A and B are shown apart, each in its own frame.
Chain A
Amino acid sequence: MTELSPQTREILLSLSEDDWRGYYRELVLYAYARCARWLWRTGDKQNLPEGHSPESITQEAVLRLYDGTRTWNHEQYPGNDPVPFLKAVIDSLIWALLSGAEHLRRSAVRDPHSVGSNSQEPLDLDIDADEALHHTPSLAPDRKLYLEDVEHRIRMAIADRPDLLEFFENLLEGLKPREISKRLNVDVKRVYALRKTFDRRTDEIQRELFGRQPSEDTVGRDAERVKI
């Protein structure tokens, strides 16, 4: 176990199981989105390499925080909420995973301009993953058409509800629930209610877009940590 800073240790020890359940769910969903983004761009339909999943990546990120492998820079990520820092770790792990030789070899065949061209260098987990994510290949034309169709289908699913459409537009701008509540001048609980309805109306589309196949799950897999 690597030495944790006193501040990190203090914060981690102050977090309850419920805190972690909330953080974990938010982080796993973030990982779903980030993995999907990468996979859409690198040509794979759904599968992460080496049997990884958004869950396993999130778990790895959290455990690395605990064992000190990843150091929480409190100046860069201030406050007691570990989520912003862990999102960066997740990005970094996804980058490391998807820029792995095997994956890139496959994606390079499809896209000669992919990041795979310089990917044979050793992985550096401290790279600016966010920066790296923005240098991923552009979408293949068929993938772009497909995603545009998905967006259209989402709009159709909520077309009869102007409030949901407005909520969706804000969502697509990258606003957080509290930011949406300010913009719409409504209580944040109203935003959560809109989200609930939005999710119910679009659950099948979201599952198609981000969901995992049952065969990919990690249930039954050895409970030991998966090394990325």
Chain B
Amino acid sequence: MVAHKGNNDVSDRLCLILENLEGTPMDQLQDILRNLNSNADTEEERFISQLLKAHERLAQTVDERQVESKTVSFEDGAPLRGLVSEARKHGLTTEDLAERTKLSVPLVLKLDLRQIEYISIPRQIVEDIAGTLKRSVEQVAVYLQGDPIRTAVFQSHSLESGKAPHKEDFTEAVQSDSSLTPSARNRLLRMN
């Protein structure tokens, strides 16, 4: 704030009589004020009532925000649009999601693209994903049961074979995943 220490101007000096009242008891401040303005009390009361209204409005805004926040939670009931994108909303990378669900990144990506047959996915995996994404198991299950998301590679394979996009079996996907350690692979295979 304004530092007047050492200022020699007489107007500055005299103003300091009123400028540094920090910590002075309220009643004492009121006395000083009353001396300068005979209507100080009335003006203060009027302002305080105005301020209380502003305060109420602010508190109301906060309440509304909390309601909105609950609404957002309610909106979380909306269908998932992707596992990876949902993880990002929670500040998680694909790697984070893989680590928390004890999966590999390739497996997470395959699940994200719905390239794994839902019926072959262990229930525990679905629950772990739901827990990490703070979604219900049902929401994750509904997502995973959707049609495969067509990526360029996935689509070209389908076109070449002339068949409808094929969904991989979970066991198959685990066995072919070279990024998994033997113990991780065994653990995932034992889940089924």
The stretch of A92-100, A104-112, A119-127, A191-199 in contact with B is A191-199
Q: Which residues of B contact A21 (CB under 8 A)?
A: 26, 44, 48
How many angstroms from the CA of A210 to the CA of B3 in the assembled complex?
A: 20
Is B161 interfacial (CB-CB < 8 Å)? no
A37:B12 contact, CB within 8 angstroms: yes
In the complex the two chains form, is A219's CB within 8 Å of B44's CB? no
Q: Which of A114-148 contact B (CB under 8 A)?
A: 130, 133, 139, 143-144, 147-148
Given known contacts A1-B57, A21-B48, A84-B1, A41 and B11 CB-to-CB distance under 8 angstroms: yes
Q: Indicate if the CB atoms of B11 and A223 lie closer than 8 Å.
A: no
Contacts known (A37-B12, A175-B20, A192-B24); A66 close to B33, Cβ less than 8 A:
no
B164 within 8 A of A: no
Judge whether A164 is part of the interface by a CB distance below 8 angstroms. no
Q: How many residue pairs between the two chains, A and B, have CB atoms under 8 Å in the bound complex?
A: 180
Judging by beta carbons under 8 Å apart, are B4 and A174 in contact?
yes
Contacts A21-B48, A26-B22, A173-B6 given; indicate if A34 touches B36 (C-beta within 8 A).
no
Docked CA distance A84–B19 (Å): 11
Give which listed residue, B15, B35, B38, contacts A37 with CB less than 8 A: B15
Residues of B within 8 A of A150 (CB): 14
- Residue A22 contacts which of B14, B17, B26, B51 (CB distance < 8 angstroms)? B26
Within 8 A of A (CB), among B4-29: 4-7, 9-26, 28-29
Shortest CB distance A146–B (Å): 9
Q: In the complex, are the beta carbons of B29 and A22 less than 8 A apart?
A: yes
Q: How large is the interface on B (under 10, 10 to 19, 20 to 34, 35 or more residues)?
A: 35 or more
In the complex, whether B76 has a CB less than 8 A from a CB of chain A is: no
Interface string of A14-58 (1 = CB under 8 A from B): 010110111011101110111011001100000000000001000
* Candidates B2, B28, B43, B46; contact of A87 at CB < 8 Å: B2
The answer to whether B44 and A24 have CB atoms under 8 Å apart is yes
Decide if A147 touches B5 in the complex (CB within 8 Å): no
User: Is residue B59 within 8 Å, beta carbon to beta carbon, of the partner chain?
Assistant: yes
Of A25, A144, A174, which contacts B20 at CB under 8 A? Answer: A174
Q: Enumerate chain B residues within 8 angstroms of A24, measured Cβ to Cβ.
A: 44, 47-48, 51
A residues touching B (Cβ–Cβ < 8 Å)?
1, 4, 9, 12-13, 15, 17-18, 20-22, 24-26, 28-30, 32-34, 36-37, 40-41, 55, 59, 62-63, 66-67, 83-84, 87-88, 91, 130, 133, 139, 143-144, 147-148, 150-151, 171-178, 188, 192, 195-196, 199, 203, 206-207, 209-212, 214, 217-219, 223, 225
**B residues neighboring A (CB under 8 Å):** 1-7, 9-26, 28-33, 35-40, 42-44, 46-48, 50-52, 54-55, 57-59, 61-62
**4 closest cross-chain pairs (CB), A and B:** A25-B29, A33-B18, A174-B4, A33-B15
19 residue pairs A–B, Cβ–Cβ below 8 Å: A17-B52, A21-B44, A24-B44, A25-B32, A26-B24, A32-B18, A33-B15, A33-B16, A63-B54, A66-B54, A87-B2, A174-B4, A174-B20, A177-B21, A177-B23, A196-B28, A207-B36, A214-B38, A214-B39
